[in-house]
Amino acid sequence: MADNHCHNIRRAGDWSEAIDRCVMTYEDRFLRRKVVQTAQGKGVLVDLAQTTSLNHGDAFALTDGRFIEVCAAEEALLQITAERLLPLVWHIGNRHCPCQIENSRVLIQPDHVLRALMVKLGAQVTDVTEPFTPEGGAYGHGRTHGHDHSHAHGPDHSHTHD
């Protein structure tokens, strides 16, 4: 590869043909500066201005104008199904847990506490291995992060969600 540096990301649908691809887990797709390996075994130095959440289908824009496609890797997940799925989705969202929401199921990263809660609430929970492409933040991008809702910081404690 003549140029193996990336300073910009192009979102899915906003780039042309890729010369290679990087298969990355959900956690690996959250980065600012890192050397990533392509499917062809090439190293690419990704050096972004800020930490960025990458989605399946985005691309690393190399400084010479070529593109490396970002692909979601298969990873261990929990598949949650139930006759009444919506209340379960609320419990998952209330814990700020990344989740991939589909019509008949929800996928989350393995979590023994959430597994037990889902089973207690009547869900079927199955271990699966597949790509994880969770919903973005409130505006369709970004990451959800768990945080403490306790008010240990005093009665005037407040926070916002990005």
Domain boundaries, position 54: 5-72
- Is pTM beyond 0.95? Reply is no
Q: Are 10 and 67 part of one and the same domain? A: yes
1 with 42: CB under 8 angstroms?
yes
Query: Quick one: pLDDT band at residue 143, thresholds 50, 70, 90?
Result: low
> Within a domain: residue 106?
yes
The predicted pLDDT at position 3 comes to: 65
What pLDDT shows up at residue 60?
97
Last residue of a domain, one of 72, 92, 116: 72
User: What pLDDT sits at residue 142?
Assistant: 52
Write out pLDDT tens, residues 26-82: 999 999 999 999 999 999 999 999 999 999 999 999 999 999 999 999 999 999 999
Looking at the fold, whether 31 and 67 belong to one and the same domain comes out as yes
pLDDT digits (tens, 9 = 90+) for 9-21: 999 999 999 999 9
In a domain, 43, yes or no: yes
User: According to the 3-state scheme, what is the secondary structure of the chain?
Assistant: CCCCEEEEEECCCCCCCEEEEEEECCCCCEEEEEEEECCCCCEEEEEEEEEEECCCCCEEEECCCCEEEEEECEEEEEEEECCCHHHHHHHHHHCCCCEEECCCCEEECCCHHHHHHHHHCCCEEEEEEEECCCCCCCCCCCCCCCCCCCCCCCCCCCCCCC
- In the chain, the number of structural domains is 2
- pLDDT tens-digit readout, 68-99: 999 999 999 999 999 999 999 999 989 989 99
> Domain containing 54 — which CATH number?
2.60.260.20
**Does residue 112 lie in a domain region?**
yes
Same-domain status, 86 and 65? no
